[in-house]
Amino acid sequence: MPNHLHIMVVILPNEDGGRAKRAPTVSNMINQFKGAVTKQLGENIWQKLFYDHVIRNKNDYEEISKYIYENPLKWQFDEFYCE
């Protein structure tokens, strides 16, 4: 979509199979990503908030993947669409 993006983040266990003592939160990761892009562009293009969803099983993953794949087909119906 020209006006937003979807990202799937996979959080893996560390080498010993456990969680890191200070694992980054989704909010931290998104803020770092937005900050890096803003720095690269020299201006902020991001809205303040974001929507997140934890994928908990295969069915959920398949539904989210389908939504992301098919989402660009809906661009012409978006309120910000222009040719």
Predicted TM-score (pTM) of the model is 0.70
Report CA-CA distances (Å) from 49 to 1, 10, 54, 60, 69.
18, 21, 17, 23, 23
Q: pLDDT tens digits, the chain, 83 residues: what are they?
A: 678 889 998 877 777 766 667 777 888 999 999 999 999 999 999 999 999 999 999 999 999 999 999 988 888 888 778 87
H or E, element range at 26: helix 26-41
